[in-house]
Chain A
Amino acid sequence: MAHKTKRLWKYQPLKSSYDAVIIGGGLHGLATAYFLAKKHGLSNVAVIEKRYIGFGGAGRNTAIVRANQRTQENLPLYREALQLWPVLTKELDFNLMFHNCGNLNLFHSEAAMKAARLNTASGQFHGIKSHLIDAEECKRMVPALDISDRPRYPILGAMYHPPGGIVRHDAVVWGLAKGASKHGAHIHQGTEVTGIEVYKGKVAGVHTDKGKIKTPRVLNAAGAYSADISSRLLGAKLPISVLTIQAMVTQPLKPLLNHVVSSGAYHCYANQTLKGEIATGAHMDPWPNYTNETTAHYIKHQAEALTEFLPCLAGVKFMRIWGGLADMTPDMAPIIDGNEPVEGYYIDCGWGYFGFKSSTVTGKYMARYMAEGRCPEILKPFALSRFKEHRLMGETAALVNYTPDN
């Protein structure tokens, strides 16, 4: 195979004017740029990225995709997101490596089983396949599980969600960049947005460290940094706390886990990447911060948890741990809004740790929102105003406690 060495995305000089500027070269930003350029003919678009594309959560997540959410506002969005992976693989002509291995969500208590029953029913009502299985069935699917009474949280059963799996996260970044660039969007790495120009209540332009840009539309899709940008550049404060979330991988092994396995009681999820590493993540750090630093106790916690319900993993080694930032809202659902507080300013943030699986579908609808100026039905429930009205979303039933006041 004589391979052509074509750049995946083109280098372009920064123009002085674009139809839309997207802050953040992560998945949400790139997906929006791609759909704007491809579907809505808005190809004069720039993605402005301070570091390099995929620097943030896009390259730091554990690549799990699923649609077993809790509420009817979220379920259809994630359902469509799952359906998009094969479609985009084809459209972008870039193998996103969607490994449709299914997700096994273990439960260890009556309360968790109750929640699983509810989620399963809600999912089924929306046409999303999930069903409950008992501990023996879990063991058949994942022989490495310990279903005895030995672990401190014995496994009672699981919610099995066949349509989920894992996707190669970097491939999504690069594939979308390739697609966006092909349809005319510009990707400017190493460029920092320093200001948003507002004229008569409307977005007029964006200032960057490489020059000024005129534009009527700006999308803030800066992930963990979006609240800071919103507050600093527009004075618009968002109810977002930023917390480090850590993940780690083991040395590569021949196939051992054939499904994504997660456990709420152990604060732990694990899957085997196509390379053979066991990728695993935990709960967020319990306090807000803006660093990607890792801590000694998380990797220890993770080993303690994993070796409880997957005891054979005691014989494998952790190879590395990394941190990423999660932008958490008070109800663990995102903030998607437009023309607030000024016309032409759009936000797509607050995804917490759901930003990867939702990225492409959100980009699709966000692009429509920005192109047509009207919020698509599917995004309406995520408006910022819900916090003012005390109408939180019920994506998590329990109280979230990641801020000092909770």
Chain B
Amino acid sequence: MTCLPAKTDKKLGLAIDLDTCVGCNACVTACKGWNDQGYGAPLSDQNPYGADPSGTFLNRVHSYQVQPADAAAITVNFPRSCLHCDDAPCVTVCPTGASYKRAEDGIVLVNEDACIGCGLCAWACPYGARELDAVAGVMKKCTLCVDRIYNENLPEEDREPACVRSCPTGARHFGDFADPDSKVSRLTAERGGFALMPEMGTNPVNRYLPPRKKDALDASPLAPLLDIKATGFAGWLDRMLGKI
């Protein structure tokens, strides 16, 4: 249904650590692979071996460069997927009720059977989280692997989104932001996790953990044992080995 729940019991989402993400794209293809055979229609690819390939992906990794005014430029890898917003505009614009936010855990989903593929939800999303599948004609988006996280056919330890399970650096954390003691809440608090484009008023659940301060190495130079020019190598050797 189209109206947003007044409050969700949980706020499931991801905390993504930009200080740790090396931009390897593991999450991208783990997501593609799982969701190609998981929730809803497959994630189709057009011209997969052609001149202009194009396919549906629910998670993509950008890479940005940031040039500070007076320091070396840095490179930041930046995974982008649905942020499962509290005030999800993609839900309220949906004319059919296909787009909805689950009351129990806050996951924003598309009921593909009710989706007419009008694309308005994708227009309403500031984050590019939704892609209309060219074959199925319905809107695809991150489900937070709703078919994994509660799946009793999976071992307990595997009940997390495919992107989180596959992330080699552990830069993606899954959990309940409504619980202040959860790992994602603690990480967000400790590391100053931020929301994307707050000016859009979407109140995203997902948080990004910022890169730590770079190029701040300031160890003072080592003091020489002695003045080698004055003592010669023999003097250095004596001082050096006298320490043993």
Pair from one complex: no
